[in-house]
Structure 1
Amino acid sequence: MTTLELAADETLHVLVPSRAIGAAVEEVSPRIRAHRLDPADGPPAGEAALARVWVPRSGGATLPDDAFFAALPELRLVQLLSAGAENFAGRLPEGVVLCNARGAHTPSTAEWAVAATLAAQRGIPFFVREQDAGRWSFTTHRSLVGARVLVIGAGDIGRAIGRMLAGFDVQLTYVARTAREGVRAIDELPDLLPHADVVVLIVPVTPETRGMVDAEFLAAMADGALLVNAARGVVVDTDALVAELASGRLRAAVDVTDPEPLPAGHPLWSAPGLLLTPHVGGAVPETNARAAAAVTDQLRRILAGEPLVNVVDAY
């Protein structure tokens, strides 16, 4: 178990990305001192350099340069506000623990995945475009009810997606790196993909998942099937996806792209059969409160001498 040792009378200095997070962490205990800091402004100085904990900003925070960490000799924990940790995992200085905010984005990301799947199946993007054009275009689209759905990723968010889909009587199959009760192994995908109406991606970014959805993966999917990416853009080979969409054989709903943000003129903007949102899956008002709660809970654990939770990398 990973703990962060703190003397009984020691002040816990914490680097925070905003006044709101600073206020929340200082409410935990008078022993906590928050210091608002943006790494882009340079290395911390003064009392901020005594920080044991750094909370990076949410929404695409990246690893600072070596000078930033060199100015923080007491740093022992990087506590993320997000579940995704790919920008930091395996890249922190020795002796610094990395923890994520598992659960903070779960309800909203799962909600997006289900909403996007339902909208794509029922042709809502098509009808919105027809409404904008003033056309009454009666057409029949697919249904989510009773669909065969593969959820690739059986973690916290994947399970939430499954629970939300239960009301549609889908035939649900979970897929993960290793097989276990109720979960199929990822090496079974060649046999599973041809029979799925919907494939939902909600995997972390690892060397194994980066580029996992390549031309071979997409070719194995059934004609007319829907790919839903609620994970990260780099999980999917963008060129291979564009080719399948352009042919009209597959459809997709994605909240993430590679590259991201998607540049002007990129072929994904005009790809047929695509529902695209700009990485907003977790962006609901309640998410910020849940992320702040993950931080404050972690700090309470530190003050109480309890093990850290949601550890991604331990020293």
Structure 2
Amino acid sequence: MPTTPRLPPAALLMYPGLEALVLSAGTRGRLGAVVDLATPVPFATPAEVPAEVEVLVTGWGCPVLGAQALAALPVLRLVAHAAGTVRSLVSDALWDRGIVVTSAASANAVPVAEFTFAAIIMITKDVFAVRDRHRDVRGCEAVVDQSRMGSRGRRIGLVGASTIGRLVIERLRSLDVEVVVADPYLTTTEATELGVALVDLDELLATSDVVSLHAPLLASTRHMIGADQLAAMRDGAWLLNTARGGLVDTDAITAELVSGRLNAFVDTPHPEPLPSGSPLYDLPNVVLTPHIAGAMGSEVSRMGDLAVTEVERFVAGLPPLHPITRDAMDRIA
């Protein structure tokens, strides 16, 4: 009589309640078909996870998996992160153990790219200023400034040809715009294949109508957009940040925005959130949103789908689609 194949023990480790967003019913069923999922679902801390667990599906709220946590998980072989960056959970102990780590950053990249593309459309249509003027005059005067309207012929500068940056490039192909990219890791050949012009950061800042940030926050990129870089931007240009607030010097951008010379759409300020007294909340040339570009609501399950795909591949003996290695941590978000 054939025996039932052994399923590797697994557990979810994330904020309690998040699992309902991360795993649709169908995805939960897929996971249950390839692993023996421990209960409760999810666990809130590594100390609660059974020692026999070989597979962890993690998400927002997963604490660092350091030496102490890993000592209690002696047979752990895979961490499939159902979210973007793994920086908050990886450790030297995790890498030293040779545990496979995967990320759903590519799934989280989709809504960020969509948000960025939508923001660029709104910016080049002057939607935010038109909205404010229309509200002020209550329909009694014309509020459209034709000189500020339209995307055609605009130069869009992307800082970083990251996963998100490339998805934005793909979406911008539907517009009649010129796209330039500054990225030290992008080759001229790759830029040509993407249909963009590769330029240095100084040229991008000085010539772009919209500058959109898609670089990771590293020691080398912190405050890469400071007073000098902002001063180089065109009068009336927009800075769009859906990446990390630390890429921009907050004091420097605040000074420029208060002066009215530049405009900004900031989804990821620094600090996050900004202090309640920050002038950026009230300036007419600033659109400030509370870090909503990434996966939210129904979009979160896309990351769960990818994490479970990684688990399925691992159990089947296939290589991961999106592995994260220690060496990659010095260049990824």
TM-score by length of 1: 0.83
Contact conserved, 2:124 with 2:149, CA < 8 A, in 1? yes
Which one of the candidate residues 226, 242, 258 is aligned to 1:230?
Answer: 242
RMSD, aligned CA: 2.8
Contact conserved, 2:102 with 2:324, CA < 8 A, in 1? yes
Cα distance, 1:239–1:75 mapped onto 2, change above 3 Å: farther
> Structure 1, residues 258-300: CA drift from partner, whole Å, max 9, x if none?
1113332223212341111111112355422311111111111
Task: Work out whether 1:204 is the aligned partner of 2:216.
Answer: yes
Contact conserved, 2:267 with 2:289, CA < 8 A, in 1? yes
CA distance in 2 between counterparts of 1:89 and 1:67 reads: 13
Task: Work out whether 1:189 is the aligned partner of 2:201.
Answer: yes
Which one of the candidate residues 112, 115, 120 is aligned to 2:115?
Answer: 112
Cα distance, 1:52–1:206 mapped onto 2, change above 3 Å: farther
CA distance in 2 between counterparts of 1:91 and 1:270 reads: 44
> Structure 1, residues 236-275: CA drift from partner, whole Å, max 9, x if none?
1111111111111111112111111333222321234111
2:58 is matched with 56
Q: Which amino acid aligns with 1:192?
A: L
1:289-308 mapped onto 2 (5 Å cutoff): 289-308=301-320
SS in 2 for 1:87: coil
CA distance in 1 between counterparts of 2:90 and 2:284 reads: 36
CA distance in 2 between counterparts of 1:132 and 1:80 reads: 44
User: CA shift at 1:106, angstroms?
Assistant: 2.8
Which one of the candidate residues 153, 163, 170 is aligned to 1:163?
Answer: 170
SS in 2 for 1:72: coil
CA distance in 1 between counterparts of 2:29 and 2:252 reads: 49
Greater Cα offset, 24-33 or 111-120: 24-33
1:154 is matched with 161
Cα distance, 1:261–1:68 mapped onto 2, change above 3 Å: farther
CA distance in 1 between counterparts of 2:105 and 2:12 reads: 20
2:12 is matched with 15
Cα distance, 1:151–1:14 mapped onto 2, change above 3 Å: same
Contact conserved, 1:10 with 1:31, CA < 8 A, in 2? yes
Task: Work out whether 1:32 is the aligned partner of 2:33.
Answer: no
CA distance in 2 between counterparts of 1:91 and 1:135 reads: 60
Contact conserved, 2:180 with 2:198, CA < 8 A, in 1? no
Cα distance, 1:81–1:248 mapped onto 2, change above 3 Å: same
Contact conserved, 1:174 with 1:182, CA < 8 A, in 2? no
1:103 is matched with 106
> Structure 1, residues 192-244: CA drift from partner, whole Å, max 9, x if none?
32111111111222222222212222122122111111211121111111111
Q: Which amino acid aligns with 1:224?
A: G
User: CA shift at 1:32, angstroms?
Assistant: 2.8
Cα distance, 1:19–1:242 mapped onto 2, change above 3 Å: closer
2:324 is matched with 312
Contact conserved, 2:258 with 2:279, CA < 8 A, in 1? no
1:77 is matched with 78
Contact conserved, 1:110 with 1:158, CA < 8 A, in 2? yes
Contact conserved, 1:233 with 1:259, CA < 8 A, in 2? yes
User: CA shift at 1:144, angstroms?
Assistant: 2.0
Aligned length: 303
1:44 is matched with 48
Contact conserved, 2:66 with 2:92, CA < 8 A, in 1? no
TM-score by length of 2: 0.79
CA distance in 2 between counterparts of 1:88 and 1:179 reads: 28
2:330 is matched with none
Contact conserved, 2:103 with 2:307, CA < 8 A, in 1? no
1:243 is matched with 255
> Structure 1, residues 143-184: CA drift from partner, whole Å, max 9, x if none?
322111111121322122112222221111122222412436
1:135 is matched with 138
Q: Which amino acid aligns with 2:42?
A: L
